[in-house]
Structure 1
Amino acid sequence: MADFATLLPSLILASGSVARKALLESLGVAVKVCKTGCDETHDETDPARVTEMLAKRKLASFQDTHPLYEIPVLCCDTMISFQGSLIGKPKNRQEAFSQLSLFDGNMHEVHSGWALWYQEKVFSGTDLAEVSFKNLGPDRIASYLETEEWKGAAGSYRLQGAGRNLVEKIVGDEATVIGLPLLQISEILGAPLSV
């Protein structure tokens, strides 16, 4: 992977995600968080298209409300696909229990879309990782919900916390599961940017 901090020594993360911020900071990037609100409704059924579209919509929303900025701006969106259904953030503990029960002993897909304003251009993409859960059972799921990591997390778990213990195997970029496809972004930024 390209040296992220060399490519992006500082950026604005237009997201309230503590996990994305921590991931970027662990790479040596100075992060300024500036949450942006935008309409996340859509009629799409393809999770790859949805996540990239929403990331670009968030970037456009940021640009509309913050016309003056000089450092790169990054927006992301993450969604889970399980057996043809799109799964977002749970509304409450009961929905979180239902989501985790679906994943119990099964594989699901995590799609993370991103949009980056960098050197006067907008770059965007989406990446996919496959996550296989261990056989958990209702008691272990209920115990995990006590951590409250499910709040605000697509699919009701966070990989960078106790949620790691729910996972049997990940195929793909682990950072994509956290919500920030670092390998893909590095690949694109590491290539010549002139068109």
Structure 2
Amino acid sequence: MLFLASKSPRRRQLLEQIGIRFDIVDVDVPEVRAEGEPDVDYVSRVAREKAGAGLLQVVAVPGAIVMGADTEVELDGEIFGKPADAADAAAMLGRLAGRTHRVISVVWCIDAGREDHVTSISEVSLAAMDRASIDAYVATGEAFGKAGAYAIQGRAAAFVSHLSGSHSGVMGLPLHETSLLLGRFGQGAESRAH
């Protein structure tokens, strides 16, 4: 039985999109990058900690597999997580506008006997945006709860001038890579919804 250790409605929707059956476990893992921790290592560690925390909650369930994921935006070695408020969101978008950044998405699966993961790194170029455009976008509320203060699947799609990599990975769950990982845990077609 597969469990998703995530509060993200987008991850739930993406897993449902590819026909995966799962239950939710609610975990609360601190997302704090250690000083000097490489960006991909940080994202991977948080995703693994989410999966591990989830497994502790369902350890009594026979055959439980827990998936944890994390997605962060990186520019110039700095991680852009979820904005704290409107000013933080506008500042992030101001720095990302007119530049290309990386979106790092890591997914871990853990069960009682093993663990494995996949990594997806995408490059996203945002068009130049003036302050009025940034403020108007932030005012929609879409920037909140999203790494880098934008949702590629929403209104921010109008600002994305180029994407190299995984669209679903930028949303929060790289579906191709996730499907391969689930296959390695026996979560293939036979466990998918009909």
Q: TM-score, normalised by structure 1?
A: 0.85
Q: Which amino acid counterpart does residue 21 of structure 1 have in structure 2?
A: R
Q: Which amino acid counterpart does residue 58 of structure 1 have in structure 2?
A: K
Q: Distance in 1 between matches of 2:181 and 2:73?
A: 24
Equivalent residue in structure 2 for 1:99, among 92, 98, 104: 92
Q: TM-score, normalised by structure 2?
A: 0.85
Q: Secondary structure at the match of 1:108?
A: strand
Structure 1 regions of 5+ residues with no counterpart? 1-9
1:58 aligns to 2:50 (yes or no): yes
Equivalent residue in structure 2 for 1:171, among 158, 164, 177: 164
Number of residue-to-residue matches in the alignment: 184
Q: Distance in 2 between matches of 1:173 and 1:111?
A: 10
Cα 1:29–1:47, aligned 2, differ >3 Å: closer, same or farther?
same
1:60-139 aligned within 5 A: 60-69=52-61, 70-117=63-110, 120-139=113-132
Q: Which amino acid counterpart does residue 53 of structure 2 have in structure 1?
A: S
Q: Secondary structure at the match of 2:42?
A: helix
Q: Distance in 1 between matches of 2:153 and 2:101?
A: 17
CA RMSD of aligned residues (A): 2.1
Given that 1:48 and 1:127 are in contact with CA atoms closer than 8 Å, whether structure 2 keeps it comes out as no
Residue in structure 2 matched with residue 37 of structure 1 by the alignment: 28
Tell me the percent identity. Answer: 27
Following TM superposition, by how much is the alpha carbon of 1:110 offset from its aligned partner in structure 2, in angstroms?
0.4
Structure 2 regions of 5+ residues with no counterpart? 187-194
Q: Distance in 1 between matches of 2:182 and 2:53?
A: 23
Following TM superposition, by how much is the alpha carbon of 1:31 offset from its aligned partner in structure 2, in angstroms?
3.5
